Amino acid sequence: MANKSKSIPNKLQQAFNVEDFRTTAHEIIDVLCKHLKKAQNNTVKIFDYVEPEEEHQFWLNNFEKKEKITDVFQQILDRSINVQHPHYIGHQVSAPALVSALGGLMSNILSNGSAVYEMGKANTALEKVICDWLSKAIGYKNGGGFLTSGGTLANLTALLAARRHYKTEDVWKDGHRKSLAIMVSNQAHYCVDRAARIMGLGEKGIIKLDVDEQFKVKTSLLEKALKQAEASGFTVIALVGSACTTATGSFDDLEAMASFAKANNLWFHVDGAHGGPSALSKKYKHLVKGIDLADSVVIDFHKMMLTPSLTTALLFKNEAQSFNTFQQKAAYLWNDATANEWHQAGKRTFECTKLMMAPKIYFIIKAFGVEVFEQNIDDLYNLAKELAREIKANPKFELLMMPECNIVNFRYVATEKDLNKINQNIRQALVKAGEFYIVQSTVDQKIYLRCTVMNPLTTAATFTHLLKHIEELVFKYEL
């Protein structure tokens, strides 16, 4: 054996040298913590924006240069957006609880692929415990599901399950015979539209439902939309509710939609990627009333549940249905393709090899208990209401509407100039200044500045600074 190890090329031996790893890892943790402290204390920018070509050139120039890993680590920190910064109030990505990152480290060292039980024993069982807990928490009695790589993939998987459930046609086996369709809010996340197109439904197979002034599906129009689709030769297989919509954070009336779906024998799917965890909050669970009536629900842990990207749960009211989506023979993986084995994860997931996600969630629960998720929801939703009040009190700004959750849209209006243009320019100026990170959205052809409060270290004072900063930018650049 000793001789054999000598024949391994030197570099490969080094790649597995535990002492080298220990030294580098300790150094890196120090670099990382220094960076985190700076971010938390707002003594470092959110990011230094540079144009894509310049960024590309930087990495191209460095690609084969000899550098210390700790230096490279610092470079990446310095050149990345900092979601741990309390001034990060942009896209819907959580500021991960720090302990969960250690789950990521474990995941990457163990690299348990988890398509089959043997390749992820602890991870697979933990995943079941977590999904069973979340199922109960949203009100399912016999629910269950699995973790998968993001809300986009989870929504596609749920719609594939819906199609599979549709009894008079087996698209999985025979391909399309009829024109199938789904019904979904015209405010839904684009990935639902994309999923339907991937499934071959085409543009006409995506029936976009009108919304009211709060951007919620007008449930009084469901009947008419369904009749119209059927009259045009479509067989509608699923109704999709948003909890909440991405642009405005509006929660559809899930209860009304569920009862319509039931009466018309449609699969009811809830895209709760962002707002699904509202169910965990006593104060805010009314927003997702009826979520327990959905056949399937998507919840992103990496949005409102303090977990790093990507970690998503796809839950089914009747867990048995989660096994029907992909029935496939893979003799090298499973002996029996038709048995409903929870422990053979790949039977239910789109992925074959899958990231080991459960430890990232489990570490949070071990460290702080499941109550931490409720606290996070309450804290972030309450903070967003403070931001909204601040905007409302400032005549230079216009609030789109009082937020139901932690998504707030507003625009600068103290000008005679074109409001769309000026708000777009404000967003650009904000990005370049690098002191805050917010995004923008277009609602009814109007451009809004959009904040999603994602970091519990953000405070009411942050919002005062933000509005002041915007006014200064308008003045400084004569926007």
* Residue 124 near ligand PLP by CB under 6 A: no
Residue nearest ligand PLP, CB atom distance: 151
Q: Which two tokens stand for residue 326?
A: 């992909």
111: left (phi over 0), alpha (psi -120 to 50) or beta: left
* Three-state DSSP class for residue 328: coil
Distance, in Å, from the CA atom of 406 to the CA atom of 16, rounded to the nearest integer, reads: 45
The residue (of 310 and 400) whose beta carbon lies closer to ligand PLP is 310
Piece in contact with ligand PLP (CB under 6 A), picked from 147-155, 323-331, 335-343, 389-397:
147-155
Please pick, from the candidates 107, 152, 376, 409, the single residue that binds ligand PLP as defined by CB under 6 A.
152
Strands 179-185, 234-242: pairing is parallel
How many residues bind ligand PLP, per CB under 6 A?
A: 14
119 or 247: CB nearest ligand PLP: 247
In the chain, the N- to C-terminal Cα span, in Å, equals 72
Site string for ligand PLP, 183-222 (x = CB under 6 A): ------x-x-------------------------------
Residue whose CB is less far from ligand PLP, 412 or 448: 448
Length of the chain, please? 479
The window from 15-23, 260-268, 270-278, 371-379 that contacts ligand PLP (CB under 6 A) reads 270-278
Query: ∠ at Cα 330 (329, 335), nearest 5°?
Result: 90
Regarding 150 and contact with ligand PLP (CB under 6 A), the answer is: yes
Residues 84-103 that bind ligand PLP (CB under 6 A): 92
Q: Which is nearer to ligand PLP, 191 or 426 (CB)?
A: 191
Query: Tokens in use for 9?
Result: 């090329």
Task: Please say which residue, 195 or 399, places its beta carbon nearer to ligand PLP.
Answer: 195
DSSP codes, 63-132: TTS---HHHHHHHHHHTS--TTSTTB-SSS-----HHHHHHHHHHHHH----SSGGG-HHHHHHHHHHHH
At 440, is the secondary structure helix, strand, or coil? strand
Rg value, the chain, Cα: 24
CA distances from 123 to 149, 236, 315, 418 (A): 15, 37, 17, 54
449-478 residues near ligand PLP, rule: CB under 6 A: none
Tokens of 441: 């959205």
Is 45 among the residues that bind ligand PLP (CB under 6 A)? no
Does 358 participate in binding ligand PLP (rule CB under 6 A)? no
Least distance CB 111 / ligand PLP (angstroms): 22
Asked if 293 and 258 touch (Cβ cutoff 8 Å), the reply is yes
Site mask for ligand PLP (CB under 6 A), range 215-254, x = bound: ---------------------------x---x--------
Amino acid identity of residue 357, one-letter, is M
List 148, 219, 312, 322, residue binding ligand PLP (CB under 6 A): 312
271 touches ligand PLP by CB under 6 A: yes
Residue 336: CB minimum distance to ligand PLP, A: 32
Q: Contact positions toward ligand PLP, by CB under 6 A?
A: 92, 150-152, 189, 191, 242, 246, 271, 273-274, 300, 310, 312
